[in-house]
Chain A
Amino acid sequence: MRLFLCIILAMFWSIPAAALVVDKDTLWTGEQSFSEDVRVLPGVTLTIAPGSVVRFTDARLEIAGQLVANNVEFSGENWDGLILKGSDAATQLSDCIIKGAATGILVQGGAPILERLTLSGNKVGIALRGKAAGRVANCRFIANRKVGLFLKDDSTTAVVDCYFAENSRYGAYLYHARPQAFQGNTFVNNATGLMIAYHGTDPEVNDNRFEKNDIAIQVDRAARPVLRNNLLRDNQTGFHIYRRSDPLLTGNRIEGNVVGLLVAYSSYPEIEGNDFVANQTALKLEFQSSAWEALRGAAARAGETSSRSAFGGQGKRSVSEDDRRARRLDGTVNAKGNWWGDVGTAELVNIGTAGNPSFIHDGRDQATFVDAGEDFPLDKVVHVPWSDVPFTESKP
């Protein structure tokens, strides 16, 4: 068997290959170079030996069978990346480097195991779609040009203990996806660490760390995730809750950010049991008004509820205005039961329950904002009662 495999690999040794269909179990080793697509047929296993270097020029590696690769470098010129089509857990990539591709790894369905990979300099590091499952663990997403990790299409892939740094747009983007776990990940120096967007995107995001991002976590366009026990530290903006999004924020430590939590455009998150520590502004409301929402919210979103032409600039999802309507419009944003830090708590004790905390920017600081020539009252934050003790521990 080994002799057979060696013969097979020798056939491919460092030869710029033409179009190639791999229709029997095959082992690659050493340096491989391909200038046309390589397809691995269903039922066939391609194994790439540790230490191998595989390069593609204007081509892709498409796996409809299984791929087993450990400690392999994939790179190339104008190359598409690896495409895993319906791969099961028998497809395992570990300790590999994938760089410079359009999409480093495109997972179309299936449940592959991707561990300790480094995705760098790709447009998109890993994209998971088509109800993909499986696991992405201990991977590093570095300086990808658009998105480090993209989860779409009701994918449930677990994303744990990964590191996202210096990705140009988003470290990770969840779009109509609900990972089995999104936990233990670290986001540093991304434009936006984690984007959770569009109605129907309701994942749980627990125990992650976000540091020095422009925006640590953005929740947008009516998404309703649960954001629990995360650390958001030294970001420009910690949470950005935007465009009719109603997440649950609880158990998070929001520390040292320019703005800890920014709530904008008719968003009504539940904010309870969090610690706000040493932020320049702990909580800020911006273009946030129940009166505006009641008067103009539905009309402003009307163009998004219909499946108009893609060229009209709207995505389509079967979402009705009723799905997105705010359930409670009383001019307040609920932030009861949070700890506002030692300094903040001392100020609250000093000014009393009717006071206007300096660390919250709301309708008490800015009575109105203008939209289409009309004044609308800015909502107010309900911060009373507050907690006298923190919910989280300081972390190094």
Chain B
Amino acid sequence: MKSTLTKYIILILTIVLSACTPDSESGLSGQLLFQDQPLAAAQVEIYLKADKDRSVQPFVVATTDAEGRYNISLPEGLYFVIGKKRESTNDNRTRMLMAESPANPHQVAEGMTQVATFNLREMGREGLPMADASTGVSGQITHKGEPVARAFVYIYTETETGLIGPSYGEAVQTDQDGRFTINLPAGQYSLVARKRADGGRSGVLSPGDLNAQYPANPVEVRSGERLHLGDFHLTGVDAEVYARRQAEGVFTKTDTMLHGQVIDADGQPVSKVYVFAYLDSRMVGKPVYMSVPTAADGEFELYLSSGGTYYVGARSAFGGPLEPGEWVGTFDAQPDHSITVVRGAKDDLGQITVREFW
């Protein structure tokens, strides 16, 4: 009897353990084409959000092989696939190939999910489909009556994002006289121009930077028409307005709050670290809430607008990939870094330990 029982236990354990074996890798696989030919060394970007809200870094980036194929391991979830390739043509022209998977989004469950093969298209200089060279907009960027050289002009086809974040196409930079010309296909567009003091193309604007939306947005561009927009005046980012918006933004105090202390491996408080709360357990993309940077004592307060389950991490920078020298860590009371919060509660997370990434 004892021997039979042992055999049953072994059999059950064998079944259970074999079910736990991670032999069924999940993810997406497929092939990219250009003009119906396999496209090698193209970039496959996987996003968690739809295109109109894709203001974050891709979740995963992979490269196609010599046959244009890719095979990307992913946890279960819903994903958006984009193919891209920047290359030089025989006449030394740089061109951008790009397309979204027509079948977006793709659900990944168990095993590898096949994405239907799709062709990339050549984009125009502004990242839009190839435009007629005789169609587009032109103008001059000015500030206090003076032309602004090296300012960036951004084209948006949608306004839901508030004309912030990545524009639909690549931004165009003004020349020494502040002038710009953008070839576009016929359509309706909104324009924004910005000149950051550090010369950057992207990033949060701060006092000293120049910014404006074109006052007659949206503009209608007809086929064969070169629309002259005239002067496009920029204004400086006001320090007081900037400070007020910072205070009103994600740092707004509410009655639901997480607090605690950020420390290093030696138990010493770490200053200038942000604490982030995500709704997504993968903790990618934009956090839904963030704290102001910790002070010298490492203490933080993270205000939330509602209760729920949040995934909490801490980092000395926000946005973009980790870089050497950054502090990073997670709330580790739960293995998935989560905390469930009741609206109106003020929960103590205790200490979050961060380490330096080199």
12-65 of chain A: CB within 8 A of chain B: 19, 21, 39, 41-42, 62, 64
Interface pair A21/B321, CB less than 8 Å apart? no
Q: A306 contacts which chain B residues (CB < 8 A)?
A: 59-62, 72-73
Q: How far is the CB of B29 from chain A (nearest CB, A)?
A: 15
Inter-chain CA distance A313–B357, complex, in Å, is: 8
In the complex, which residues 105-152 of chain A have their Cβ closer than 8 Å to any Cβ of chain B?
A: 108-110, 124, 130, 146-147, 150, 152
Known: A146-B325, A311-B283. A109 touches B198 (CB 8 A): yes
- Chain B residues with CB below 8 A from A108, complex form: 198, 200
Q: A42-B208, A308-B284, A311-B330 given as contacts; is B199 within 8 A of A147 (CB)?
A: no
- A86-B330 CB under 8 A given contacts A64-B208, A315-B321: no
B197 close to chain A: CB less than 8 A: yes
Chain B residues lying within 8 Å of A102, measured Cβ to Cβ, are 272
A320 close to B284 (CB less than 8 A): no
B181 at interface (Cβ–Cβ under 8 A)?
no
Residue of A nearest to B326 (CB): A310
Are A307 and B61 in contact (CB-based, < 8 A)? yes
- Within residues 56 to 80 of chain B, which ones have a CB less than 8 A from any CB in chain A? 57-63, 65, 72-73
Contact of B328 (CB < 8 Å), options: A307, A310, A323: A310
**Assembly CA distance A320 to B61 (angstroms):** 8
- B325 x A309 contact (CB < 8 A): no
Q: Are A316 and B321 in contact, with the CB atoms below 8 A?
A: yes
- B57, B197, B324: the one contacting A175 at CB < 8 Å is B324
CB-defined contacts of B324 to chain A, threshold 8 Å: 150, 173, 175, 197-198, 315
Is there a chain A Cβ closer than 8 Å to B121's Cβ? no
Within 8 A of A (CB), among B327-346: 328-330, 337
Residue B166 lies at the interface, judged by CB distance under 8 Å to chain A: no
Q: State whether A315 and B313 are in contact (beta carbons under 8 Å apart), knowing that A306-B60, A307-B61, A309-B283 are contacts in the complex.
A: no
A300 to chain B, nearest CB (A): 14
- CB proximity of B13 to chain A, nearest CB, Å: 23
CA distance A152 to B328 in the complex (A): 19
Contact flag A311-B313 (CB < 8 Å), given A85-B208, A318-B43:
yes
Which chain B residues border A109 with CB–CB below 8 Å? Answer: 198-200
Q: How far is the CA of A130 from the CA of B197 in the complex (A)?
A: 12
Known: A315-B357, A322-B63. A85 touches B323 (CB 8 A): no
Complex partner residue of A110 from B198, B207, B282, B337, CB under 8 angstroms: B198
Q: Is the CB of B208 within 8 A of A39?
A: yes
B200 touches A310 (CB 8 A): no
A317-B296 Cα distance, complex, nearest whole Å? 32
Interface residue count for A (Cβ, 8 Å)? 43
> A147 contacts B197, CB within 8 Å?
no
**How far is it, in angstroms, between the C-alpha of A152 and the C-alpha of B321 when the chains are bound?**
13
Instruction: Please tell me which one of the listed residues A19, A146, A310 contacts residue B321 in the complex, with CB atoms under 8 A apart.
Output: A310
- Assess whether B207 is in contact with A315, with CB atoms less than 8 Å apart: no
Known contacts: A39-B239, A110-B199. The answer to whether A310 contacts B315 by CB under 8 A is yes
- Minimum CB distance partner of B282 in chain A: A309
Give Cα distance in the complex from A323 to B57, angstroms. Answer: 20
- CB of B196 closer than 8 Å to a CB of A: yes
Q: Bits for B180-213, please: 1 = Cβ < 8 Å to A, else 0.
A: 0000000000000000111110000001111000
Kindly state whether residue B322 has any CB partner on chain A within 8 Å: yes
Q: How far is the CA of A323 from the CA of B63 in the complex (A)?
A: 9
The answer, among B59, B65, B197, B236, for a CB contact under 8 Å with A322, is: B65
Task: Report the minimum CB–CB distance from A208 to chain B (whole Å).
Answer: 21
Alpha-carbon distance between A302 and B72 when the two chains are bound, in angstroms: 10
Q: What residues on B are CB-neighbors of A313 within 8 Å?
A: 322, 328, 357
A85-B208, A175-B323, A305-B62 given; A42·B57 CB < 8 A: no
Contact A311 B315 (CB under 8 A): yes
In contact, A316 and B57 (Cβ under 8 angstroms): yes
Contact of A309 with B62 in the complex, beta carbons under 8 Å: no
- Cα separation A54 to B324 with both chains bound (whole Å): 30
Contact: A42 with B197, CB < 8 Å? yes
| Given A308-B284, A310-B328; A39-B296 close (CB under 8 Å) | no
CA distance A197 to B325 in the complex (A): 12
Establish whether residues A86 and B196, one from each chain, have CB atoms under 8 Å apart when the complex forms.
yes
Q: Is the CB of A307 within 8 A of B321?
A: yes
Task: Say how far B245's CB is from chain A's closest CB, in angstroms.
Answer: 16
A220 to chain B, nearest CB (A): 9
* B-contact 0/1 string along A143-164, CB 8 Å cutoff: 0001100101000000000000
Query: Is A314 interfacial (CB 8 A cutoff)?
Result: yes
Q: A78 at the A/B interface (Cβ < 8 Å)?
A: yes
User: Which B residues are in CB contact (< 8 Å) with A322?
Assistant: 63, 65
Report B339 CB to chain A, min CB distance, Å.
14
How distant is B27 from chain A, measured CB to nearest CB, in Å?
10
A152-B324 Cα distance, complex, nearest whole Å:
9
Asked if residues B323 and A309 are in contact (CB atoms below 8 Å), the reply is no
Residues of A within 8 A of B (CB): 19, 21, 39, 41-42, 62, 64, 78, 85-86, 102, 108-110, 124, 130, 146-147, 150, 152, 169, 173, 175, 197-198, 302, 305-318, 320, 322-323
19 A-B residue contacts at CB 8 Å? Answer: A39-B207, A42-B208, A85-B199, A86-B197, A109-B200, A130-B199, A130-B200, A197-B324, A306-B72, A307-B58, A307-B59, A307-B60, A308-B60, A309-B283, A311-B330, A315-B324, A316-B322, A322-B65, A323-B63
Known: A39-B207, A85-B199, A198-B324. 8 other contacts (CB 8 A): A39-B239, A41-B208, A85-B197, A307-B321, A309-B283, A310-B322, A315-B357, A316-B322
**B interface residues with partner A (beta carbon < 8 Å):** 43, 57-63, 65, 72-73, 196-200, 207-210, 236, 239, 272, 282-284, 296, 313, 315, 320-325, 328-330, 337, 357-358
**A-B CB proximity, top 3 nearest:** A316-B321, A64-B197, A320-B63
